[in-house]
Chains A and B, each alone.
Chain A
Amino acid sequence: MKILLLGIFYIFSFQFLKAQDAATLVGKLKEKLQQVHDYEATGVLKTDVAFIKAPAGKVIVYYKSPDKISLKRQSGISILPKGGMNVNMASLMSFDYLAIDAGEAVVNGVHTRIIKLLPNDESSELVLSTLYIDPVKILLLKSITTTKSNGTYEMLMTYGKYEQYGLPDKVIFSFNTKDYKIPKGFTLEFNDADKAELEKMKNKKGKVEITYSSYSINKGIPDTIFNK
């Protein structure tokens, strides 16, 4: 009996410690990201969606703590997944959550810890966030976020010269896309699209890729930038 009770106590203690460990790791990452109060980053945006032919273009991304983010194309139009770009790294941890250790995984050759964040508030837009954190450099390498209204998004980060701030050089943002087709009567196009071309565009997950060339960190950004 004593052995059984000891066993149960051991299991619960282990789970508690693991959960605490997960929370500590997320806390460390949060602390690192909180060094950045605001930034203005320049980069190149590439939209890669099965049924959208869009050229890559230069963008400026503005961020202000805790959750203001704005992406502006220097000239032209940016096509972004609805609501998705608001899911930035800081916002992934800006809610009251329960952190659960979910094991380990290798992301881009780096050993990471998988931590699942469950919001404590049931009315939260976020349903579940899975973070893949590099425990040595305290960097978020990958996240999978499920939201109530905009589906599931995946972010894959690559770091370089701004890794001490936890800011990536490259972010690949993946999401699921729906099929697209509109009637010929609407477009007034009588010829069918080239089949080989359509095949090239089929069965792909939507992706938005931002490659950052520079960050201007903690220099102050006026709130008016975020007004649409």
Chain B
Amino acid sequence: MWKVFSIEVYKIFKRPRTYIAFAAISALILIIQLGLYVDGNAYVDFIMSGLKDSFDFQGKILNGYLVCYILLQLLLVHVPLLIALVAADLVSGEANMGTLRLLLTKPQSKTTFMLGKFLAASFYTLLLLIWIAFLALAVSVWLFGTGDLIIQKNAYVVQIAQNDILWRYGYAFLFAFVAMLAVTALGFFLSVFSENSIGPIVATISIIIFFTIMSTMGIPLFQKIQPYLFTTHMVNWKEFFDEQLDTSGNVIKGSIQNMQQVNHSIIILSIYIIVFVWGAITFFKQKDILS
């Protein structure tokens, strides 16, 4: 398994396509950071306009933690599209190049072969998230400094003390990794059914866009199926940035408002990962690799 994993990681990072995601994310993050650095206060005034009519905020609202939150909010919806570029190419790319038969002549089971490929794609996803964490959190903190984090929810505003934030980002990135693994698994699953990479990549991206739209729209028909869509759960990393109140209305430091929701989302996302990987292995075992 380790050998398959090492070879697959080598192959992933040998392809120029892999670096598109890193380059795109770097460009996006740096351009947003530049924009916020130059004119960030105007942006904060705009997003806080509803509150600034009634309240005075004294302190540094635009700090590294808020910039990271804004970046994650924007990026974690779009990163799946970049993951699809690699994950949906895993099997279909081999089929396209005619290397599948050659690879399977090695003394290893198809399950080991597939799991090795999936682990390699997961490693790529992990590196992508670490890169995002470095640019979005470390660089933002270096550029903008630290401070309390003020987040606007649908029905209320949350202020998190600056010494209570970093661990939340740690868990949020771990959660995001599970969410992105679901996308990796989807792309991996679809790549089994095609002899070229374009089809599975486009199909993965289409499914993500379609599900995201269904998750966003508040139409009663869609609301019934929303709890079962992985895109609904992918954004629940935000639950780490909400605090509980005690009976007197005081914020409980170090608390998470809806941990049950986080656990539920992790279970749903894990089910998606298991089903897609299991489906990919099952269908691959029946795949004609001689053609």
Of the listed stretches A22-30, A53-61, A90-98, A111-119, name the one at the interface; the rest are far from the partner chain.
A53-61
- A-B CB contacts (within 8 Å), total count: 129
- Given A76-B59, A78-B58, A177-B54: A52 and B157 interface contact (C-beta under 8 Å): yes
Which B residues lie within 8 Å of A1 (CB)?
A: none
Which B residues lie within 8 Å of A184 (CB)?
A: 154, 216, 218
Once the chains are docked, how many angstroms separate the CA of A51 from the CA of B54? 12
What count of chain A residues pass the 8 Å CB interface test?
Answer: 45
B61 contacts partner chain A, Cβ-Cβ < 8 Å = yes
- Given A190-B216, A198-B155: A53 and B251 interface contact (C-beta under 8 Å): yes
CB distance from B100 to the nearest CB of A (A): 39
Q: What is the interface residue range for chain B against chain A? A: 35 or more
CB distance from B211 to the nearest CB of A (A): 11
Chain B, Cβ-Cβ closest to A175 = B54
Q: Mark B137-154, 1 if CB is under 8 A from A, else 0.
A: 000000000011010111
Which B residues lie within 8 Å of A77 (CB)?
A: 57-61, 147-148, 150, 159
Cβ B59 vs Cβ A78 within 8 A: yes
Which A residues lie within 8 Å of B261 (CB)?
A: 191
Which B residues lie within 8 Å of A82 (CB)?
A: 53-56
CB distance from B50 to the nearest CB of A (A): 7
- Given A81-B54, A194-B257: A180 and B156 interface contact (C-beta under 8 Å): yes
Which A residues lie within 8 Å of B51 (CB)?
A: 180
Cβ B156 vs Cβ A55 within 8 A: no
Of the listed stretches B106-114, B242-250, B269-277, name the one at the interface; the rest are far from the partner chain.
B242-250
Which B residues lie within 8 Å of A83 (CB)?
A: 56
Chain A, Cβ-Cβ closest to B59 = A77
A72 contacts partner chain B, Cβ-Cβ < 8 Å = yes
Contact of A190 among B73, B232, B242 (CB under 8 A): B232
Once the chains are docked, how many angstroms separate the CA of A198 from the CA of B226? 22
Q: Mark A122-153, 1 if CB is under 8 A from B, else 0.
A: 00000000000000000000000000000000
Once the chains are docked, how many angstroms separate the CA of A179 from the CA of B238? 23
Once the chains are docked, how many angstroms separate the CA of A79 from the CA of B251? 14
B41 contacts partner chain A, Cβ-Cβ < 8 Å = no
Once the chains are docked, how many angstroms separate the CA of A192 from the CA of B54? 25
Cβ A185 vs Cβ B161 within 8 A: no
Cβ A56 vs Cβ B60 within 8 A: no
- Given A51-B157, A181-B155: A78 and B250 interface contact (C-beta under 8 Å): no
**Those of B57-106 within 8 Å (CB) of chain A:** 57-61, 73, 77
CB distance from B230 to the nearest CB of A (A): 12
Cβ A55 vs Cβ B253 within 8 A: yes
Which B residues lie within 8 Å of A188 (CB)?
A: 73, 77, 216, 235, 238
B184 contacts partner chain A, Cβ-Cβ < 8 Å = no
B33 contacts partner chain A, Cβ-Cβ < 8 Å = no
Which A residues lie within 8 Å of B58 (CB)?
A: 71-73, 77-78, 80
A85 contacts partner chain B, Cβ-Cβ < 8 Å = yes
- Given A80-B55, A81-B54, A190-B226: A54 and B159 interface contact (C-beta under 8 Å): yes
Q: Mark A186-205, 1 if CB is under 8 A from B, else 0.
A: 11111111100110110010
**Those of A161-190 within 8 Å (CB) of chain B:** 177-178, 180-190
Cβ A53 vs Cβ B59 within 8 A: no
Once the chains are docked, how many angstroms separate the CA of A181 from the CA of B218? 16
A154 contacts partner chain B, Cβ-Cβ < 8 Å = no
Which B residues lie within 8 Å of A38 (CB)?
A: none
A46 contacts partner chain B, Cβ-Cβ < 8 Å = yes
Chain A, Cβ-Cβ closest to B238 = A189
Contact of A79 among B57, B73, B156, B162 (CB under 8 A): B57
Which A residues lie within 8 Å of B156 (CB)?
A: 50-53, 180, 193, 198, 201
Once the chains are docked, how many angstroms separate the CA of A151 from the CA of B250? 26
Which A residues lie within 8 Å of B236 (CB)?
A: 191
CB distance from A152 to the nearest CB of B (A): 13
9 A-B pairs closest in CB distance: A77-B59, A76-B148, A54-B159, A51-B156, A78-B58, A55-B251, A77-B148, A53-B158, A193-B155
| Contacts A/B (CB < 8 Å), 5 sampled | A55-B160, A72-B58, A77-B57, A77-B59, A188-B73
Given contacts A190-B215, A201-B155, 10 further A-B contacts (CB under 8 A): A46-B250, A77-B58, A79-B56, A79-B159, A80-B55, A182-B152, A187-B154, A189-B153, A191-B236, A201-B156
A residues within 8 Å of B by Cβ?
46, 48, 50-57, 71-73, 75-83, 85, 177-178, 180-194, 197-198, 200-201, 204
B residues within 8 Å of A by Cβ?
50-51, 53-61, 73, 77, 147-148, 150, 152-162, 164, 215-216, 218, 226, 232, 235-236, 238, 242-243, 245, 249-251, 253, 257-258, 261
